[in-house]
A = this chain, B = another copy of it.
C-alpha cells in the first residue's frame, strides 16, 4: 500500500465542450478511486480531434500512475479514441479476436457484424480487453491507460471490472462540517488548523442554498486519528466565533 497512488482522467467528447452534456462521470470515478486509495490529480476534457487526444494521453499517462479515458469508442465517425490511443502508443489498431467474439455474442449473427460494428473490434495491438456487459463493445487497457465508454451505465460497469486490478492505497477518508458563517469569519482559524495537521487537506466551500449563505469545511486524510482531531478543532473554531456547526457528516470508507 502507498499514499502516492495517483490517477488522471481524460474526457473525450465534443458534447461536453459544447455544453450539451453534463459530465457526470468525473465525480463517479473520483469517488470510486477515493475508496481504493487513489487520488485523482487532473481532469482534462478534449474534443474528438486526434492530435488533441494523442497529446493529452501522452502527457497524462506520464504524469499519473493511472490514466482513465471516457468516450469515443463507439461505431460512428466521431469515435476516434481507439485509433488515437494506438497512435499515442505507436502501435496499430487491429482486429482483436476476443473483441470480435464479444460483439458476435451480443449481435448473434456474423451477418450483423457490419463494418461499423467491426470498428469496435479494432483494438490497439497489445491491449487487454475490458468487458462491456451492457452493449458488447469492449474497452481496453494498454500500459497504464484504461479506455472506457462515455455512456455512464457502461463506464460504471467497466470501472467495476477495472478497480480490483488496480494497486490499493490507503482509503481517503473525509469529514464535512457545515455551518451558517461566511468563510471570511473562519479563514484565519482554518489556516491555523491546516498548519497544525500536515496529513489533513482542509477545503472551505461557501454556498448559497435557498438564498442563505453557508459554508462547508471538508477535511480529507488517510490518517483517521489526525482527521478526527482536525475535525474537532474545526467544530470548536466555529463555536468560538459564534457559529453553529449544524452538521458533521462522516463518510465511511470500506478498505
Contacts and interface: CB of A to CB of B under 8 A. Distances in A.
Contact of A52 (B15, B42, B77): B42
A205 B114 contact: no
Chain A contact patch, size range: 35 or more
Contacts of A151: 206-208
A187 B77 contact: yes
A47 B43 contact: no
Interface stretch (A28-36, A85-93, A162-170, A224-232): A28-36
Q: Is the interface of A mostly helix, strand, loop or mixed?
A: mixed
A190 B115 CA distance: 13
Given A114-B188, A135-B206, 20 more contacts: A14-B203, A15-B205, A15-B218, A17-B41, A17-B42, A19-B26, A19-B27, A20-B27, A20-B176, A42-B47, A43-B45, A76-B186, A76-B191, A77-B190, A78-B203, A79-B204, A116-B187, A120-B184, A134-B208, A151-B207
